[in-house]
Amino acid sequence: MRSLTLAVMLLTAGPAVAQDVEAGKLLYGDICAACHGLDATGGGPMTEALTIAPPDLTNLTASNDGTFPIVRVVFQIDGRDPMMAHGGPMPIFGPYLDGAASAVLSAPDSTPILTSPAIADLVAYLQAIQS
Q: Angle at Cα 117 formed by Cα 23 and Cα 1, nearest 5°?
A: 155
pTM summary value? 0.79
Q: What's the pLDDT tens digit per position in 36-56?
A: 999 999 999 988 888 788 889
Query: Residue 96: enclosing H or E segment and its boundaries?
Result: helix 94-97
**Residue partners of 110: CB distance under 8 A and separation at least 6:** none
Q: What's the pLDDT tens digit per position in 65-124?
A: 999 999 999 888 887 776 665 555 455 666 678 877 776 778 888 888 888 899 999 999
Query: Residue 127: enclosing H or E segment and its boundaries?
Result: helix 117-128
Q: How many CB atoms lie within 10 A of CB 20?
A: 17
Number of folded domains in the chain?
Answer: 1
CATH of the domain at 58: 1.10.760.10
Q: Is 79 left (phi over 0), alpha (psi -120 to 50) or beta?
A: left
Domain range holding 90? 2-128
